[in-house]
Amino acid sequence: MMADQINTATHPLIGRIISSDDDAMRCALVLARVAFDAGEVPVGAVIVADNKIIGVGANAPITSLDPTCHAEVVAIRDAAKRLGNYRLNDTTLYVTVEPCSMCAGAIVHSRVGRLVYGTTEPKAGVALSAEQFFEKPFLNRIVLVDGGILADECSSIMTEFFALRRAGKKRLKEQLKTGD
C-alpha cells in the first residue's frame, strides 16, 4: 500500500485503546512499516487523546509530492480533522524518530501537550540532538518531551531501510558499469 493512499478515516488503528507509551509506540511502528513499504524513510506517528488513537501518520513526502508530509504533520492533520478542532489540547503525539524543526514547530502550533519519540536523530532531530527546540523561551506553550521509547525497534527499521537503499544503489551502479 502506498503511504499516501492510507484512508485514515477507516484506518484500523483509529479508536484503538492505548495502555502504555510502549503500546502507542508499537502502533507508530506499524505506520513506520507502511512508509517503509512505500519506499519512504520509515517514520510513523500516532496521536492519542483519552487513551485512544485519534490520528495516524506515515512519512510520505515522495509519494504525496509534498515535502511537508512528515509522519507527525500527517498525524496532526488527521487528528484535527477527526476532532473538528485545529487545537489538539491534551493530546500526546508518538513518533518513532526524534522530530525535525518543521515538525517541532507544527507540534507547538497544534498545541499537542506531550511528545514521545523513539530513537534520536543525530543530524536533524531538534528535541535533544541538534537543538533543544522545546526549551526555547520564545515558545508560549510547554510541550512535555520523553524520548527513547522502543528506541531499538524504531532505530532498526531505519537501519534496515538505509541498508536496503544503499544495496539498491550499489546494484544500480554495477548494472550501469556492465551495461546490463
11 is an interface residue for Zn ion by CB under 5 A: no
Residue 5: other Cβ atoms inside 10 A: 11
- Closer residue to Zn ion (CB): 16 or 98: 98
Element (H, E) at 170: helix 151-178
Strands 92-97 and 44-49, how do they pair?
antiparallel
By rule CB under 5 A, what count of residues binds Zn ion? 4
115 is an interface residue for Zn ion by CB under 5 A: no
DSSP line for 24-49: HHHHHHHHHHHHHHTTS---EEEEEE
Shortest spacing between CB 82 and Zn ion, in angstroms: 21
Strands 44-49 and 52-58, how do they pair?
antiparallel
- Closer residue to Zn ion (CB): 79 or 100: 100
Catalytic residue among 40, 72, 98, 121: 72
70 is an interface residue for Zn ion by CB under 5 A: yes
Cell of 147: 524520548
Shortest spacing between CB 105 and Zn ion, in angstroms: 9
45 is an interface residue for Zn ion by CB under 5 A: no
Element (H, E) at 75: helix 71-83
For the purposes of burial, counting CB atoms within 10 Å of the CB of 53, is it exposed (0-12), middle (13-18) or buried (19 or more)? buried
Q: Would residue 153 show up in a list of annotated catalytic residues for this protein?
A: no
103 is an interface residue for Zn ion by CB under 5 A: yes
Segment interacting with Zn ion (CB under 5 A) among 14-22, 68-76, 80-88, 129-137? 68-76
28 is an interface residue for Zn ion by CB under 5 A: no
Active site residues: 72
Chain positions contacting Zn ion, by CB under 5 A: 70, 100, 102-103
